[in-house]
Structure 1
């Protein structure tokens, strides 16, 4: 199928018709053409030479209309009904350059051409065609001797027009196949005519291929500065076999795909066809990889038209990487110079072999690149990527002056816990990491190293926020308890409470394990910072990760304890988030003594210190908080979905004057806002008020 063309997407093709009406004229045209292109179209749609004799099926002409961005392919028929010599009909398809590039084959045009019947039906050509194109390049039945002669001449003498005899049936299809074989840029500039009595070149635009009638003995004399197919003998024709095989069975060896891939950056037209095919043959040959590489490089070095093609040089590098340790000095030098052209994943795959090959040849290759910066950073990074961490560390010990340069190109070294475990210059290393902006990766490695002398020093160099970010990443990647020293790092970061709050407010997807660890070391009644949102509640709502139920209960106890000492809006949201979980844990005796001590320390500050039951204390404490602070009724209603528990909360509230006033607020809220809460809640509040 065409590159980008499918069975379900018809292509719009403009068209034109020319014929005799008091002279050769344009009868229909659907595309807006520049004046120069209209003149070219008119001229090349006329008969291809005085006295030319041709069959009823006519002949094909193809040429670009450069200023308008179209390629014209037209079929010309004899218009014998006019009884006037030289009258013709020509139906021309105007293919946009952008469409020309996505089609694999042009055999379909032969089925689209329609011969006009008379001048009266020109209106049938007044709209663009919507064509369902089946552009698969299908196997061709070609006359191999004729094709070999034409291809050899066409591409062997690229600066001259090739003329060839018009052989029997199917020649139009064969020429279209030759055109289809070309890459898009060459197609766009290719000019051909399958029957010419005179040279059809106009306005300095020479035709590339013209066929002449075998019966017209004087035809050759009417062409100047051309070469006849068969007169040119090209040696070393192994390339020709691949080209002919591809004509008969399109893309059988992927030659056509290769030409499409590499042709886009070439501007030398026909001149590039033979060296490209030779290059292709070298790369896919059955000989050893090293010999293939050597032959491909020789093709590049001998042909200036393709020598600087990055795509071709990249293909050589790609083929060479896996055997780079087997290359001689000349081939290695070629590959080394263009190493950055290879795909990153391929380089990564063979990085060890590349680095070893360079180092074995001359260690100064690596050191000079680092020192002089003659190569760009991509090449430097690739060069060093072949060395193991151990090799780099060893190199640093041998050449400590290169620490900065190596870290700039091998930043993954700081991701190695082994680096930090063995380093004897911790402070200097941290300062260098900070200079290079590698602190995020380095901190993760430091934490994983397990060294207990790093946390406080790292906090002084990098700050608590970066440490928290690293802890979060580690926590999300690793299982609980998999990291020695995790708590020491949490403790170090928690000493900067302002940074902790800013982290909790800004971090998306914070690890719940880290969030809970911070809650264990930061008291819930820690000094309030006047942020717009509560840091703990914000972080909880954005948190992720798997934690135990007991850890969740302990954190919710921290949140509820914080509610008792927070501003009203925070208190309301914190209670709504945590109360039901904490209460259920108390009822089931699932709350830990540590969590209860945190809560109890807050509750004993109120008038409910005399209550003995933990559940009752929590009930009364939360009700007192909502009533005395006048927190929003909707949040009170959201504390639980359990009607029995809600009834207990309402009952306690109704025992105080201030509580009854608060219940009337709730009832007023029910009547005016009609919130989406169980109807039973409304009745419970109403009955409590009526008992008053």
Structure 2
């Protein structure tokens, strides 16, 4: 790169002697700074360094000052200055490389070479003095640990190496604003030609640089990095994230501390990271690239959960930006190490109802292993609610067995009533003998509950809590659904259901005969004779009140058996009691004949419901019973056709 230069020295006073670039309005300041610093001493050193921005030139000026004892006037000095453009200054990996281009004039008339620009290579640095740990520590604390300019203790030339090491560590903008002078004065400077960030005075016999006593993790990291030169881990970080910080020196220590959190993290890192960000970079645009990488989990990834939680709750005046899609995906790397914290974040995200909240929920919910869903989400009801809403099949997982009945009951309403899982879900819940759960299920899935309870009772292969039967019986309009009743395959279950319902109650009568007929044609009779008679009498009584075609079919199916038991005086009392309310009053002298009264009731029903005469004739399966039915029809007004059909039999 091409670097302009200039030379200052004595010629009827200290002045600019040569320059490859006109210095314009900056000339007077640079002349003053290039002269011997008031009270400074050289001791064993060959000279001292001065670095200062020259904004009117658009350059940074690095000057090397040497004593000039060969001049006639005492106190004369030579000062060679390099006029560096800011871009070149920022690109040099080690600024001590510039020392190789500093040249003291060999004679008072050696000026011509200073009138031409130099070609400077970005090569390895050269030694400008030893880099002492104590000097580095003191310098770093003075620059970044305390506010304002600092005056350090030193011997002449002792701190030069540390100054260049610290300067090289800085990011470009901080470099080009660094104001320093390594001249050592006898006492603290009370006035300045310009305001330096760092200056030095001579150490007394008993004086100790108090700054050197300080120590902290960020300081140790900065010292190690400064000693390693361009290979230091910290400076790459600083050069990347110092590019858009607003405060320059004030940002160094927080950036170093954030780098430490990135290298050595634990679960407390998130809190400390947010403290640093909010205190140091409160403006949304300040340290924008750093903030984006923190939110995206590129930096301090273990803290991304706390950071995203902060982002969710920022409100109208955000400090941190929203994460990118790629950034959000990095959350997955924290599972399962911080699974509880991730679930807590997702739980909060659901509550915010924002696009970011939805995105966080989607990421976290997609990570949860299905077989661990119920166990992991015990403390996170909002996650459960939202996930089950979107994936009702989660209710079928074995892990749900550990979930309490009240929670399961609340989840049922999230399942669409036409969902494919309804029947299987009810089946999995039947062994829970809990009335509140059974009622919640019945309210939401009435048909599925009725069908699955009946099927379970019929098959007898699954355990079923009695609460389900009680609750279902409490809603006979649901239990007596034809689809549900069609699941019955045994008369014993018909008997049990009728018993549970209370037999001929108003609700049963209102439902009619159709539910019982849903499976009557294929049903297997596993009842003893007496119970069979009770069930058949119940169905006949219900059919007499039905008036439907199903009622006619029931009479065709069961009249003969009931009538034969009556005629043989073997009808159980309970069956008799069911029939009696349906039978006409035949007078005190004939009411004893239950068979005759039943035939009259049948004939009356056939006339009233306009059932076909052929069906009436089929009721009698023997010649005798058909004649008895013919007699009954003959005594009923309008029963002539029935009588004729029965007699033709």
Q: TM (normalized to structure 1)?
A: 0.46
Q: TM (normalized to structure 2)?
A: 0.48
Higher Cα Rg, which structure: 2
